[in-house]
Amino acid sequence: MDKDNNQKIYQATREAYGEALVEVGKENEKIVVLDAETSNSTYTEKFKKVFPNRFFEMFIAEQNMISVALGFDKMGFIPFVSTFSSFLTRAFDQIRMAQYSNANLKIAGSHAGVSIGADGSSQMGLEDLAMMRSILESVVFYPSDYFSTKKLVKIMAENQGIFYLRLTREKTPIIYDQNFSFEIGGSVVHRFDLAKKFKKKVLVLTCGITLFEALKAQNELNDKEIDMIVVDCYSIKPLDDKTIISLAKEIKNVIVVEDHYPYGGLGEAVSLLLTKNKINVDNFSHLCVSKIPISGKPEELLAYMRIDKKAIIDQVGRFF
Amino acid sequence: MRENNLKKISQKIRKLILISTTIASSGHPTSSLSAVELMTTLFFAGFFNEQSDEIIFSKGHAAPLLYSLYAVLGKIDEKKLETLRQFGSTLEGHPTPRFSYVKVATGSLGQGLSIGLGMALAKRLKKEKGRIFVLLGDSEVSEGQIWEAVQLAGYYKTENLIAILDINRLGQRGETMLGWDISSYQKRFESFSWQTFLVDGHNLDEINKVYQETLLSVEKKPKVILAKTIKGKGVSFLEDKEGWHGKALTQDELEKALKELEKNQDEENIDKNQFVDNSFCHHNQKNQEIKNLLGKLKNYF
């Protein structure tokens, strides 16, 4: 746990994943954990330490890992599998096939997005949301902080089906209380009550690492008398349709921000939702990874891809 | 006598494979025919324990064989084979769990062994008895995932995992990389710490022996039965011929094939008391079903 100057506590969502596995593992002995030689990065080593018999090292063989997990599922276990989100893509056929076996499969992809920084493009999961959303009946989560991650892991353990949990490498501030509730198809609206009176209004839909960029932008724009409503769309599939539709109807200026390629992620999901429901907005902007990434510091990469606080504020400037 | 029965059941299954695919006008009869004796012996000679064992057809295109086995076992009505590959039927082109006796969908090649490995590890964790059998095609062994599974099974020493490799030499468009070079398969599996067994995949006596040896083995290693087989076995104009993968016979070809199979044996006298497990006895029907199917078949042309 790290603290910054404002005494905010920072903790990585991947670490929350490892800790949550131990907690759900204690409640349910059917839970088994498989990892492709990344257990010290995904923190599944925490589970291994407590339940060595229920942890299975799969080594660097992701395709095999997914199918082995399916085998565990069909024998009555609840398998959680994890590796870097980038490397899960090579097991897409196995995930695709698992849906035809009515799989109960929990997949976690860590080190998602350009925000991993220095390791470079080969290690960045930038297609994973598209891949996992494309599974017909999948559920896709991308939590931003420690406690939301823990709650969502619990939901994954308790519900049947193919679930994907996107995890971030960087430590992020803990923003939710541990009693806050999260659900499939849920979201969290961040809005300053006092800002409601401002005439200029912007709706920012985001999730994961870029939520914090949006919240920083929100603070700054509040001083400029702009009412920015930030929605943490941690449940990317299904989306919180009701909340998003009602806010988009009211606000009319929409920005989607995500650390993912333009195709198949949150932006396209929101765009389809608005179109299907005939919500006409005045402005719609999609800030996402639209260049081939390079190595750098996380904040440099977020800036380079124009998915950071500054990019959001600049975009708002173009609206008004 | 038991051998004789297994032979008769094998021939009956051959007929069902050919008839059902011809009615469907598609499917993979030749890939099914190569594994008939291997699967018939597994199911009808008492080696497969329904209560504790699992079977995965990793070569999912052998679905007509799978369905025919369950028809002869009496688990599904033989008439249901007429619905193979038809809209709404649970007998899909490649197996899915819509067919009650299948737990996982196969057909995207190279995945079945990994699933079997997961089941084997799960059984070990549950301290349950029983074995996981996986029927593999030789062409799918080109998939990298197969060797990921072979390697990991060797590492975990899953002695309850038994792969049956149907080495019929031919893939979709021609010969596999290794053809009938069984010893290369053997070396490869053994180098990953598997115990290997060799068999002529159409010799019932040998197959019986190899299953006995495999199941009696006390070696703490995963096991593979390397079976030399013939694609299209049992029908002279299909045997070991290129160009027949994924093709159903026309009605004329089917009649020719069935006559050939009839000539080879009269299947009226299957002695049901000879089966090891009596629950498996549902085959003492005459040719009537076949005739019914053929009658039905005429309507399709």
- Does the pLDDT value for residue B301 go beyond 50? no
- pLDDT tens, residue by residue, B145-187: 999 999 999 999 999 999 999 999 999 999 999 999 999 999 9
- Separation CA B115–CA B7 (nearest Å): 31
Residues 80-99 of B with CB under 8 A from A: 96-97
Note whether A30 and A168 are same-domain residues.
yes
- Does the pLDDT value for residue A123 go beyond 60? yes
CATH number at residue A207: 3.40.50.920
The answer to whether the Cβ–Cβ distance between A64 and B148 falls below 8 Å is yes
In a domain, A217, yes or no: yes
Query: How far, in Å, are A18, A77, A80, A200 from residue A23 at the CA level?
Result: 9, 16, 13, 45
Probe site for chain A from B58, B90, B99, B114 (most A CB atoms < 10 A): B114
As a whole number, mean pLDDT of residues A11-35 equals: 98
Q: How far is B101 from chain A (nearest CA, A)?
A: 12
Domain that holds residue A260: 188-319
Q: Taking CA atoms, what residue in A is nearest to B123?
A: A75
Does A60 reach chain B within 8 Å, measured CB to CB? no
In this prediction the pTM is: 0.94
Note whether A43 and A164 are same-domain residues.
yes
Asked if A250 is an active-site residue, the reply is no
Residues of chain A in contact with residue B118, where contact means CB-CB under 8 angstroms, are 67-75, 79
Note whether A313 and A203 are same-domain residues.
yes
**Residue entry with tokens 């960029």:** A213
Pairing of strands A9-12, A2-3: antiparallel
- pLDDT tens, residue by residue, A206-247: 999 999 999 999 999 999 999 999 999 999 999 999 999 999
- pLDDT tens, residue by residue, B19-51: 999 999 999 999 999 999 999 999 999 999 999
Counts of helices then strands in chain A (DSSP H, E): 13, 15
* pLDDT for B263: 86
pLDDT-based confidence at B294, cuts 50/70/90?
low
Note whether A121 and A244 are same-domain residues.
no
* pLDDT for B290: 55
- Separation CA B252–CA B34 (nearest Å): 22
CATH number at residue A105: 3.40.50.970
| Residues β-bridged to residue A166 | A109
- Does the pLDDT value for residue A111 go beyond 60? yes
**Residue entry with tokens 């996402």:** A288
Note whether A235 and A205 are same-domain residues.
yes
- Separation CA B234–CA A84 (nearest Å): 50
**Residue entry with tokens 């398969």:** B185
* pLDDT for B4: 81
* Percent of residues, chain B, with pLDDT higher than 90: 85
List the domain boundaries for chain B: 28-77+87-245
* pLDDT for A197: 95
Query: How far, in Å, are A237, B19, B20, B134, B276 from residue B24 at the CA level?
Result: 39, 9, 6, 26, 33
In a domain, A179, yes or no: no
Among A131, A146, A173, where does a domain finish?
A173
Q: How far is B37 from chain A (nearest CA, A)?
A: 27
* Percent of residues, chain B, with pLDDT higher than 70: 87
Note whether A196 and A148 are same-domain residues.
no
* pLDDT for B284: 37
- Per the CB < 8 A criterion, the answer to whether A269 and A90 are in contact is no
Least confident window among A133-137, B89-93, B282-286: B282-286
- Separation CA A116–CA A114 (nearest Å): 5
Amino acid at B54: E
User: Average pLDDT of chain A?
Assistant: 97
Q: Of A15, A29, A62, A299, which is the active-site residue?
A: A62
- Separation CA A74–CA A103 (nearest Å): 8
Nearest by CB: B119 against A56, A59, A71: A71
Which CATH number is associated with domain B28-77+87-245?
3.40.50.970
The answer to whether the Cβ–Cβ distance between A68 and B144 falls below 8 Å is no
Note the Cα B122 to chain centre separation in Å. 24
Q: Within a 10 A sphere around the Cβ of A195, how many other Cβ atoms?
A: 17
pLDDT-based confidence at B295, cuts 50/70/90?
low
- pLDDT tens, residue by residue, A65-89: 999 999 999 999 999 999 999 999 9
Note whether A71 and A143 are same-domain residues.
yes
Residues of chain A in contact with residue B149, where contact means CB-CB under 8 angstroms, are 64, 67-68
- Per the CB < 8 A criterion, the answer to whether A226 and A202 are in contact is yes
Structure tokens at A249: 């109807």
- Per the CB < 8 A criterion, the answer to whether A70 and A82 are in contact is no
The answer to whether the Cβ–Cβ distance between B111 and A97 falls below 8 Å is yes
Q: How many domains does chain A have?
A: 2
Q: Which residues contact B159 (CB under 8 A, 6 or more apart)?
A: B217, B219, B220, B221, B222, B223
- Per the CB < 8 A criterion, the answer to whether A315 and A287 are in contact is yes
- pLDDT tens, residue by residue, A287-307: 999 999 999 999 999 999 999
Note whether A153 and A68 are same-domain residues.
yes
In a domain, A181, yes or no: no
Probe site for chain B from A51, A54, A68 (most B CB atoms < 10 A): A68
Note whether A218 and A84 are same-domain residues.
no
* pLDDT for B285: 43
**Which one, of A137, A33, A25, A18, lies nearest residue A79 by Cα?**
A33
Compute, in degrees rounded to 10, the torsion defined by CA atoms A90, A94, A96, A101: -170
Does B111 reach chain A within 8 Å, measured CB to CB? yes
Least confident window among A254-258, B80-84, B286-290: B286-290
As a whole number, mean pLDDT of residues B289-296 equals: 60
| Helix A62-74 × helix A92-99 angle, to 10° | 20
* pLDDT for B272: 44
- Does the pLDDT value for residue B64 go beyond 60? yes
In a domain, A4, yes or no: no
Residues 24-43 of A with CB under 8 A from B: 32
Note whether A156 and A18 are same-domain residues.
yes
pLDDT-based confidence at B268, cuts 50/70/90?
very low
Note whether A143 and A233 are same-domain residues.
no
HEC string of chain B equals CHHHHHHHHHHHHHHHHHHHHHHHCCCCHHHHHCCHHHHHHHHHCCCCCCCCCEEEECCHHHHHHHHHHHHHCCCCCHHHHHHCCCCCCCCCCCCCCCCCCCCCCCCCCCCHHHHHHHHHHHHHHCCCCCCEEEEEECHHHHCHHHHHHHHHHHHHCCCCEEEEEEECCECCCCECCCCCCHHHHHHHHHHCCCEEEEEECCCHHHHHHHHHHHHHCCCCCCEEEEEECCCCCCCCCCCCCCCCCCCCCCHHHHHHHHHHHHHHCCHHHCCHHHCCCHHHCCCCCCCHHHHHHHHHHHCCC
* pLDDT for A6: 73
Residues of chain B in contact with residue A75, where contact means CB-CB under 8 angstroms, are 118-119, 122-123, 126
User: Average pLDDT of chain B?
Assistant: 91
| Helix A266-276 × helix A241-251 angle, to 10° | 70
Predicted complex ipTM: 0.96
- Does the pLDDT value for residue B287 go beyond 70? no
